[in-house]
Amino acid sequence: MSNVGVVGIQWGDEGKGKIIDILSEYADVIVRFQGGANAGHTIVVGGKKVILHLIPSGILHEKKYCIIGNGVVLDPGILEQEINDLKSIGYIKDDKRLMISGLTHIIMPYHKKLDMLRESKKKNKIGTTGRGIGPAYEDKVSRMGIRVIDLLDKKMFSDMVKENLEIKNFIIKKYYKDQPFKAREIIKSYEVYRKLLKKYTTDTTQFIHKCQQEGKKMLFEGAQGTYLDVDHGTYPFVTSSNTVSGNIFSGSGAPPTSVGYILGICKAYTTRVGEGPFPTELSDETGERIRKIGGEYGATTNRPRRCGWFDAVIVRRALKLNGVKGLCMMKLDVLDEFDKIRVCTKYKLGNRFLTDPPMATTSYPKCEPVYEDIDGWNSPTRGITSYGDLPLNARKYLKRLEEIVGVNIDIISTGPERESTIVLKNPFE
Ligand code: IMP
């Protein structure tokens, strides 16, 4: 039971990439189980910034196996680019280190087009990343999806593309009044991906079971965050997959008994990219300051992230939903220069106080955050590696957060570099 799952506790962009990179050192296998190239995991290694959308960040560690699980929706063009970029800086020397499930669904050009056309026509926009995620998951559920294993079969792939295009082109032409796709062109352009994917396609479920039997340590890498979960998030302003820890198992084939520790990643404040409710959002100078100091711009779309204070209401629910054993508090250093730091402990909705988020997404905008003010520390924490070296008020802030959310903080991040981390408890030990 030494396996660990890592999930985002807020609206994504919590900094999972950095932590997965650090924890990969203690794991033998790193498994991505959901989402697609909508995610962007930024890691700084040796002063070099690497952004990974699909390949688990563990790839930066030699000898570790990285798996793209069946729960992912895979854009083969982005995968190719990522492999080439990694190879150009000396990573993935051994192709056997990267494995892709044959059951993983593939993003097709019409998914991306439909994603963008839908967004442009929608009155209540979701603010998607335009990477075709929603349409690809829709095809999966409607049993129209094309999987890696289908692409590897030339005839099957060609038949499936033609069948899909009958419907997709009808919608694109008739409803969106846009240019249809030519089956021939798609089939031809995906030939190169067939060759590429053939190299990496594996029965990853079997591999995971074997690893478990042999006592290998596995790290399950989540993408996005709990409030973007298609069931538990602020629907419809969510992504199209389950981002919570429960999906580790269906998205990878690992049994539910295989994970003993879920690490929840959250920022010392809150951010959100795209549309949707955000009770503690700061649309003022303070929000702008957090964005600027925290460099809060999307790793995938470069959109400015909306910023606000730490929201304990959403965090508390997320910790329970995911079965979080320990928290990792990211970007503490971003708050170094604030005299007062606010934490939302509950919402006021009419004359009621809520300690859990409301069920209806439409109720969020009516919720007024109730804040507790905490004294800032006004001194640099950037790069601090030992808890004892943190200023007293920073320690007080962390202690108070632990009390409010009811879970221990096991890891604290004080900067983007691997080294700028305080590990109080290693989830693998
Ligand atoms: P989609 O996943 O591209 O369909 O986008 C749906 C919503 O999820 C949008 O609000 C996106 O901004 C948001 N989203 C998707 N992936 C991420 C992520 O990795 N980080 C933060 N937000 C994301």
pLDDT digits (tens, 9 = 90+) for 262-297: 999 999 999 999 999 999 999 999 999 999 999 999
228 close to ligand 1 (CB < 6 Angstrom): yes
Nearest CA to ligand 1 atom 10: 274
Question: Are residues 165 and 242 both part of a single domain?
Answer: no
Instruction: Name the token pair of 140.
Output: 């999966």
Averaged pLDDT, 354-362:
97
Q: What number is the average pLDDT over the span 8-33? A: 95
In this prediction the pTM is 0.96
CB 107 within 8 A of CB 37: yes
- Do the bridges between strand 3-8 and strand 218-221 make them parallel or antiparallel, or are there none, so unpaired? parallel
With 90 as the cut, is the pLDDT of residue 57 above it? no
Reported confidence tier of residue 90, pLDDT bands at 50, 70, 90? confident
More confident residue, 52 or 76: 76
| Atom from ligand 1 closest to the CA of residue 241 | 2
Is a pLDDT exceeding 80 seen at residue 46?
no
The reply to whether 96 and 163 lie within a common domain is: no
Which of 212, 243, 262 is the last residue in one of the domains? 262
Residue 128 CB–ligand 1 contact under 6 Å: yes
272 phi and psi angles, rounded to 5 deg: -150, 140
The CATH number linked to 291 is 3.90.170.10
Domain match, 349 and 321 both: yes
Q: Is 239 in the pocket of ligand 1 (CB under 6 A)?
A: yes
Q: For residue 354, list its beta bridge partners.
A: 347
Judgement on whether residues 358 and 334 belong to the same structural domain of the protein? yes
Please give the backbone phi and psi of residue 82, each rounded to the nearest 5 degrees, phi first. Answer: -65, -45
The pLDDT tens digits for 165-197 are 999 999 999 999 999 999 999 999 999 999 999
Final residue in a domain of this structure, among 213, 240, 262: 262
Question: Is 96 part of any domain?
Answer: yes
What is the domain count for the chain?
3
Which domain does 323 fall in, by range? Answer: 264-423
Residues 256 and 217 in one domain: yes
Residue with CA nearest ligand 1 atom 16: 38
Q: Domain check: are 67 and 78 in the same one?
A: yes
Query: Would you call 13 a catalytic residue per the annotation?
Result: yes
**For residue 422, what are its two tokens?**
């305080």
* Average pLDDT over the chain, rounded to an integer: 96
- pLDDT 10s digits, 105-127: 999 999 999 999 999 999 989 99
Mean pLDDT of the 219-239 span: 97
Whether residue 1 is predicted with pLDDT greater than 60 in this model: the reply is no
| 75 and 166 part of one domain | no
Q: Rounded to the nearest whole angstrom, what is the distance from the C-alpha of residue 302 to the centroid of ligand 1?
A: 12
| Tens digit of each residue's pLDDT (9 = 90 or more) over 383-395 | 999 999 999 999 9
CATH at 178: 1.10.300.10
The reply to whether 207 and 257 lie within a common domain is: yes
Looking up tokens 């402990």, which residue turns up? 345
CB 271 within 8 A of CB 243: no
